[in-house]
Amino acid sequence: MKTEKDDKLRIDALRYHESGRKGKIEVVPTKPHDTQRDLALAYSPGVAEPCLEIEKTPQDVYKYTAKGNLVAVISNGTAVLGLGDIGPLASKPVMEGKGLLFKIFADIDVFDIEINEKDPEKFIETVKAISPTFGGINLEDIKAPEAFEIERRLKEELDIPVMHDDQHGTAIISAAALLNALELADKKIEEVSFVVNGAGAAAIACTKLYVALGADPDKIFMCDSKGVINQRRTDLNEEKLPFVRNTNFDTLKEAMVGSDVFIGLSKADVVSPEMLLSMNENPIVFAMANPVPEINYDLAVETRSDVIMATGRSDYPNQVNNVLGFPFIFRGALDTQASKINEEMKLAAVHALADLAKEPVPEMVQMAYKSGNLSFGRDYIIPKPFDNRLITNVSMAVAKAAMESGVARKQINNWAVYEEELLNRMDSDQKLIRMLQNRAKQNPKTIVFSNAAEYNVLKAAQIVHDEGIAKPILLGNKEKVEEIKKEFDIELDVPIIDPKSKEAEEQVNRLAEMLWKKRQRKGMTLYNAKRFVTNRDYFGSMMVEAGEADAFLTGSTRSYASSLKPVLEVIGPAKGVSKVAGLMMILSKKGPLFFADTTINDNPTAKELVKIARMTEYVVRGIGIRPRTAMLSFENFSARTETSKKVSEAVSILHRLYPDMVVDGEIQPDFALDEELISKTFPFSKLNGKRANVLIFPNLAAGNLSYKILRGIENSQVIGPILMGLNKPVHILQMRSTIDEIVNLATIAVLDAQQRQK
């Protein structure tokens, strides 16, 4: 069933794939490569040394090359999702997608390999020939029955883990979900009757695993494209024969009557509401065909309120999809250099997944999902992919099973250290952005975007609107905005206000009256107030001041100072705040870093530095991060110069007034950011041997120039400047902000508005 949502997704998916650098994964050098000497080591002549070592001791390939963390995702394109045999070329986006998932969820590097070969024997030979490159082989979207023979032979003939993901990944995840769904339905696996629709690679592997977990084979009815696999069928291949049942049923419809569990691994929309209605009480329906399930999620839950429903899709509750398995299963297998992925490892993964769904869901994971209210139950029978406990729980369980079952060639001795290593592999920056965006989505706010006739601003407004992060109001010349929308095919149906237009006259007069009342004792006349309000910075600020919008985002085409003046006049500092300041969040390779003050206070005094540090602490905590603040200078704890003396005084005040605050200095940034340097050189520091994540600069030049240098040379995303200390959420974009930067600051503006309304 194709929905309007699917049509929209189609356009977005094509845009997503065609934008920017082509493809979804890239190769990135891991070693220094800047000097002649680096190249002499990386390549000839130096490279000969590891070659000779590996020739002597083949196992050393894991020591000197990427093999141990490199998986091949290999397909011939014969069963691509539920799209069927679309060929190797057309399968490439899926294989690149698997590569992306391997990387972001388990930090495993992938080469996707699409082989133009349907003959199993030739396919096997090809994979064997290229296997020395890899630490593991993930076979993907190869149709049954060929997939069975291909996997069996490669497992036998190669000494690295080989897994056909559609068989075993799917079997593991669906088995974990099944165990939990049965528990919720209060049914026993030995007693329930199953209908498995599909008799291909995924369906047969899943069914075998359910039987291994206790399901009664006599109560499992399997259907393929021709109907029920029963004693009257004469067209069955060897793999289907074990599933022949003596029964009167010939059709799926007949088989569904009185069944407890439906497992769909076939194709779209083959299950009707009538079939669902004919199932037993509390039916369990896993409609896992991708991208369109056997029955639409909404239709199924509308048809039966007692259904425990799952699909393979990420946009509905209960995503039963092998993405929950392959990254973590291979992680455990690679880290133990397992020679294969055996039954013990698969069962360990099943139980780790099933158990994890019953654990309380941590705040960080809750925030990553729109519902924000996940707990074990009908809508949460299986963990979510963005749960970073998956990498520890599942990979560690798999690694342990590999060691206990004797297939590990490398032992893990210190599990606490291994756990730490696994956590460090996670892509925490992207997680942080996702977490912030999802928190914003839970209660999106109205944001006024100034300069809407700028492409980057308009595109960012479209993204936050479509993602449900914010409700934009655009300020700008209507005709120009419409022109850009047309030129760049931007669909965005939100209010556009041009304060200079006749149409806006009534609103301008109203806001001007308010501005005049606010500033009349500071010399502003009503005439001037009207003139000012036609300026977008005054107009947007006044909309927020008047409660006609929740937040205002301006800047981007004007200098910071010229945007700041109207904002300060209209909104001003919050009660008790004498100074506002600008905070930049830098998503660096070392994790998120916060820089202040980067935009406002030229040469703050010691007391002002204290205020900046406190405001920053408050904002960083609000984002959900524990601040560790370094008060920066160009000396370490010696305070010889005026600047360092000032910083040192600020630190003393902070230590005296806020003894619980993790803050120290004066300290140089290279020390503050290096755990080893801090702990060895300054063991007395209140940073407790931990790297700082908040850097307070001694003056504006240092703060501003540092973040601009980073923005210019490092490929890190920056979020900000976040204006701290204002009475209402207004933020000023830096000139030439990218679309991502605008989206990120809009997200912060929503969170800011949410926080103030609490």
Ligand X SMILES: NC(=O)C1=CN([C@@H]2O[C@H](COP(=O)(O)OP(=O)(O)OC[C@H]3O[C@@H](n4cnc5c(N)ncnc54)[C@H](OP(=O)(O)O)[C@@H]3O)[C@@H](O)[C@H]2O)C=CC1
Minimum distance of Mg ion from residue 199's CB (angstroms) = 16
144 binds, among ligand X, ligand PYR, Mg ion, none (CB under 5 to 8 A by kind): ligand X
Minimum distance of ligand X from residue 538's CB (angstroms) = 54
Minimum distance of ligand X from residue 212's CB (angstroms) = 18
Q: Which is nearer to ligand X, 236 or 568 (CB)?
A: 236
Please tell me whether residue 145 adopts helix, strand or coil conformation.
coil
Q: Which is nearer to ligand PYR, 98 or 485 (CB)?
A: 98
Which residue among 72, 182, 256, 289 contacts ligand X (CB under 6 A)? 289
Q: Is the separation of the CB atoms in 228 and 249 below 8 Å?
A: yes
Residue 97 assigned ligand-binding role? no
Helix (H) or strand (E) holding 741: helix 739-756
Which residue among 166, 224, 454, 664 contacts ligand PYR (CB under 6 A)? 166
Q: Is the separation of the CB atoms in 511 and 546 below 8 Å?
A: yes
Q: Taking CB under 6 A as the criterion, which residues in 203-262 touch ligand PYR? A: none
224 binds, among ligand X, Mg ion, ligand PYR, none (CB under 5 to 8 A by kind): ligand X
Give the C-alpha separation, 665 to 661, whole Å. Answer: 13
166 binding ligand X? (CB under 6 A): yes
112 binding Mg ion? (CB under 5 A): no
Please tell me whether residue 697 adopts helix, strand or coil conformation.
coil
Residue 23 assigned ligand-binding role? no
Q: Which is nearer to ligand PYR, 166 or 387 (CB)?
A: 166
Give the C-alpha separation, 733 to 725, whole Å. Answer: 16
Residue 721 — φ and ψ, nearest 5°?
-70, 135
> 742 forms bridges with which residues in the sheet?
none
Q: Which tokens belong to 111?
A: 């080469």
Which residue among 39, 70, 81, 526 contacts ligand PYR (CB under 6 A)? 81
Which residue among 95, 127, 137, 199 contacts ligand X (CB under 6 A)? 199
The count of residues interacting with ligand X (CB under 6 A) is 29
Q: Which is nearer to Mg ion, 166 or 260 (CB)?
A: 166
Q: Which is nearer to ligand X, 114 or 166 (CB)?
A: 166
Q: Which is nearer to Mg ion, 79 or 496 (CB)?
A: 79
Residue 80 assigned ligand-binding role? yes
Residue with smallest beta-carbon separation from ligand X: 200
Among 67, 92, 98, 445, which one carries the catalytic annotation?
98
Q: Which is nearer to ligand X, 86 or 299 (CB)?
A: 86
Q: Which is nearer to ligand X, 83 or 749 (CB)?
A: 83
- Residue with the two structure tokens 């602490």: 617
Minimum distance of ligand X from residue 79's CB (angstroms) = 3
Which residue among 69, 180, 311, 322 contacts ligand PYR (CB under 6 A)? 322
Minimum distance of ligand X from residue 198's CB (angstroms) = 4
Q: Is the separation of the CB atoms in 211 and 388 below 8 Å?
A: no
Segment contacting ligand X by CB under 6 A, of 197-205, 340-348, 437-445, 717-725: 197-205
Minimum distance of ligand X from residue 622's CB (angstroms) = 38
Segment contacting Mg ion by CB under 5 A, of 138-146, 297-305, 671-679, 708-716: 138-146
Q: Taking CB under 6 A as the criterion, which residues in 301-360 touch ligand X? A: 312, 320-322
Residue 117 assigned ligand-binding role? no
> 263 forms bridges with which residues in the sheet?
196, 286
Residue 82 assigned ligand-binding role? yes
Q: Taking CB under 6 A as the criterion, which residues in 215-274 touch ligand X? A: 223-226, 265-267, 270
Give the C-alpha separation, 431 to 368, whole Å. Answer: 8
Segment contacting Mg ion by CB under 5 A, of 85-93, 163-171, 404-412, 465-473: 163-171
Distances (CA, A) of 307 to 291, 429, 447, 506, 536: 21, 37, 40, 54, 53
Preceding peptide of 499 cis, ω within 30°: no
63 is catalytic: no
At 336, the amino acid letter reads T
Binding characters for ligand X, 72-91, by CB under 6 A (x = yes): -------x-xx---------
143 binding ligand X? (CB under 6 A): yes
Residue 145's Cβ-count burial label (10 Å; 0-12, 13-18, 19+) is: middle
Residue 83 — φ and ψ, nearest 5°?
-85, -10
Residue 335 assigned ligand-binding role? no
> 552 forms bridges with which residues in the sheet?
448, 730
Q: Give the number of other Cβ atoms within 10 Å of residue 520's Cβ.
A: 12
Q: Which is nearer to ligand PYR, 321 or 717 (CB)?
A: 321
Picking from 279, 284, 234, 232, the residue whose alpha carbon sits closest to that of residue 253 is: 279
Secondary structure (DSSP) of 349-395: HHHHHHHHHHSPPPHHHHHTSSS----SBTTBSS--TT-THHHHHHH
Minimum distance of ligand PYR from residue 717's CB (angstroms) = 30
* 735-742 contacts at long range (C-beta below 8 A, 24 or more positions apart): 735/555, 735/556, 735/557, 735/558, 735/559, 735/560, 736/556, 737/456, 737/555, 737/556, 738/456, 739/456, 739/459, 739/460, 739/463, 741/717, 742/456, 742/457, 742/460, 742/553, 742/556
Minimum distance of Mg ion from residue 311's CB (angstroms) = 15
How far the first Cα of the chain sits from its last, in Å, is: 41
Q: Taking CB under 6 A as the criterion, which residues in 269-308 touch ligand PYR? A: 290
Q: Is the separation of the CB atoms in 606 and 647 below 8 Å?
A: yes
CA 688 to chain CA centroid, Å, is 31
166 binding Mg ion? (CB under 5 A): yes
Q: Is the separation of the CB atoms in 384 and 203 below 8 Å?
A: no
Segment contacting ligand X by CB under 6 A, of 23-31, 191-199, 370-378, 621-629: 191-199
Residue 166 assigned ligand-binding role? yes
At 570, the amino acid letter reads V
Residue 641's Cβ-count burial label (10 Å; 0-12, 13-18, 19+) is: middle
141 binding Mg ion? (CB under 5 A): yes
Residue 164 — φ and ψ, nearest 5°?
-85, 105
198 binds, among Mg ion, ligand X, ligand PYR, none (CB under 5 to 8 A by kind): ligand X
Q: Which is nearer to Mg ion, 141 or 387 (CB)?
A: 141
Q: Which is nearer to ligand X, 196 or 613 (CB)?
A: 196
Residue 83 assigned ligand-binding role? yes
223 binds, among Mg ion, ligand PYR, ligand X, none (CB under 5 to 8 A by kind): ligand X
Please tell me whether residue 164 adopts helix, strand or coil conformation.
strand
Residue 562 — φ and ψ, nearest 5°?
-70, -25
Segment contacting ligand X by CB under 6 A, of 212-220, 284-292, 389-397, 646-654: 284-292
Q: Give the number of other Cβ atoms within 10 Å of residue 736's Cβ.
A: 10
Residue 250 assigned ligand-binding role? no
Residue 730 assigned ligand-binding role? no
CB neighbour burial string for 450-487, b if at least 16 within 10 angstroms, e if fewer: bbbbbebbbbbbbbbbeeebbbbbbbbebeebeebbee
Give the C-alpha separation, 412 to 532, whole Å. Answer: 68
Q: Taking CB under 6 A as the criterion, which residues in 135-154 touch ligand PYR? A: 141
Q: Which tokens belong to 531?
A: 């003139």
Residue 140 assigned ligand-binding role? yes
Q: Taking CB under 6 A as the criterion, which residues in 528-587 touch ligand PYR? A: none
Residue with smallest beta-carbon separation from ligand PYR: 290
* Residues annotated as part of the active site: 98
Binding-site residues for a divalent metal cation, in ranges, read: 140-141, 166, 290
Give the binding site for Mg ion (CB under 5 A).
141, 166
Binding-site residues, in ranges, read: 80-87, 140-141, 166, 290
Give the binding site for ligand X (CB under 6 A).
79, 81-82, 143-144, 166, 170, 197-203, 223-226, 265-267, 270, 288-290, 312, 320-322
Give the binding site for ligand PYR (CB under 6 A).
81, 141, 165-166, 290, 312, 321-322
Binding-site residues for NADP(+), in ranges, read: 80-87
